[in-house]
Structure 1
Amino acid sequence: MNVFDRNINIDALFRFSQISHSTQVHLKNVYSSLAVCMFVAAAGSYVHVVTRLLQGGILSVIGSLAMMFWLAMTPHNPETEKKRLGILAGFAFLTGVGLGPTLDFVIAVNPSIIMTAFLGTSVIFICFTLSALYAKRRSYLFLGGTLMSGLSILFLMSLMNIFFGSLMLFKAHMYLGLIVMCGFVLFDTQLIIEKAENGDKDYVWHCVDLFLDFITIFRKLMIILAMNDKRKRGSAVISQPTSDV
């Protein structure tokens, strides 16, 4: 028997037997909206970095929070669907503008880090998403309490570092935050599935959860890579022997 003479059914890789058809359709809407949000956020970042028409800062943060609050307060129904998609686009755009200062920092260190961080974030997000989709239903929902505790610890670390200004504490905050957000991709994906199975088909709001997960991972990964690149360059300069005059 030839072990290589086997028919591989690629379609089987995309079958989620534990997820109903209506929920699968809902997930398609969620991830389609998420893809659009990525493009709109990229446009917002472009506006800050290249055109400088809008600058990321406290106003863009307040604006994105206001958009998210407006979206949460707008009921989900067919009559408001287009309006809510417009609000979602505005939220994504302002979030992209808000990434501007971080992008400026990374570009000053090494512009190639941006693409590396984006590809790394995409791989992380896809892997954890597939893990949540293929895993047994509700198997990762127990992470909710642990992840919220992790967010509390991160908040306390941020407050402490205001007074200590420790680089080590900042690095620990970045790495721990990255781990916590990876856990949120698992948790949020399965929570969205459970909500959809129970009749909650608000794909616009569910997209917000995953979009925030992606953006937060992307931001933290960019900072981590930039810090490591800066440290390596500093070490290389220090270790380089001086030439005799």
Structure 2
Amino acid sequence: MNIFDRKMNFDALLKFSHITPSTQQHLKKVYASFALCMFVAAMGAYVHVVTHFLQAGLLSALGSLGLMIWLMTTPHSHETEQKRLGLLAGFAFLTGVGLGPALELCIAINPSILPTAFMGTAMIFTCFTLSALYARRRSYLFLGGVLMSAMSLMLLSSLGNLFFGSIWLFQANLYVGLVVMCGFVLFDTQLIIEKAENGDKDYIWHCVDLFLDFITLFRKLMMILAMNEKDKKKEKK
């Protein structure tokens, strides 16, 4: 038998028999909203990096937090859908603006860091998302407690490092944080499926979870690549 004559069945590959059709439609809306968020966030980052019109990182962070709270407190209904999509777009735009300072720093070190970090984040996010979609239902929901505990420890170590100023602890937080965020992609994806199966079809809010996972992954990977590039430049001197 010639193994090269075999054809891949993409239809079978894209079937998720353990997910009901209504939930599959819900996931399509979630990822369509996610794509919108990514586009708007890229616009916000572009505005900051190119025009320097919005340089107040703290204000953009407070603005995005305010819009997220507004979105969270606005009930999900057909009448409020357009309003909530507008709030989602505003939140994504200000989140992109908030990435501006980190993007400028990476550009100053080596502009190639940005496409590398983005492609790496996209690959990581896609692989872990597919793992969650193809896995048995609820198989990764046990990660919730572990991930939240890890986040709490990382927060405490970050606060403690304000006094110690340890580069090693800072780097450890970045690498551990990258692993933790991979776990959150698995957990959040399966949690969205479980919520949808139980009747929660708020695709806009579900999109926020995945969007924050992607942005956090991108930020951490970008900082890791930037640190490695700086270390290489120091070794060459």
Q: Which runs of 4+ in 1 moved over 2 A?
A: 1-8
Which is further off, 49-58 or 26-35? 49-58
Unmatched tracts of structure 2, length 5 or more: none
- Which string of whole-angstrom CA distances, capped at 9 and with x for unpartnered residues, describes residues 48-81 of structure 1? 1001111141101100000000000000000000
Q: How does 1:38-77 map to 2 (within 5 A)?
A: 38-77=38-77
Distance 2:35 2:127 in 1: 16
Residue 189 (structure 1) shift:
0.1
Deviations 1:156-202 (Å, cap 9, x if unpaired)? 11111110111111101101111100000000000000000000000
> 1:5 and 2:5 equivalent?
yes
For residues 227 and 3 of structure 2, the distance between their equivalents in structure 1, rounded to whole angstroms, comes to: 48
Report what 2:108 is aligned to.
108
> Please, what TM-score do these two structures have when normalized by structure 2?
0.98
Aligned-pair CA distance for 1:118: 0.1
Offset at residue 7 of structure 1 (A): 4.0
Q: Compute the displacement of 1:11 (Å).
A: 0.8
Aligned pairs for 1:17-32 (under 5 A) are: 17-32=17-32
Change beyond 3 A, Cα 1:58–1:10: same
3-state DSSP of counterpart to 1:141: coil
Look up the SS of the partner of 2:3 in the other structure: coil
Deviation at 1:2, TM superposition (A): 3.5
Does the CA contact (< 8 Å) of 1:140 and 1:187 recur in 2?
A: yes
Alpha-carbon spacing, 1:21–1:235, altered in 2? closer, same or farther (3 Å): same
Correspondence 1:201-240 to 2 at 5 A: 201-237=201-237
**Does residue 1:140 correspond to 2:132, yes or no?**
no
CA distance in 2, matches of 1:208, 1:225: 26
Q: TM-score, normalised by structure 1?
A: 0.95
Corresponding residue SS for 2:115 = helix
Whole-Å separation in 2 of the counterparts to 1:92 and 1:72 = 14
Task: Provide the secondary structure at the position in 2 that maps to 1:89.
Answer: helix
Match of 2:195 in 1: 195
Residue ranges of structure 1 left out of the alignment (5+ in a row): 238-245
Give me the identity figure in percent. 71
Query: Per-residue deviation at 1:236?
Result: 1.1
Residue of structure 2 equivalent to 1:35: 35
- 1:243 aligned residue: none
Secondary structure class of the residue paired with 1:4: helix
- Counterpart code for 2:214: F
CA-atom RMSD, angstroms?
0.8
1:102-153: CA deviation from partner (whole Å, max 9, x where unpaired)? 1111111101100000000000000000000000000000000000001001
Q: CA contact under 8 A between 1:56 and 1:100: conserved in structure 2?
A: no
Give the 3 Å change call, closer, same or farther, for CA 23–170 of structure 1 in structure 2. same
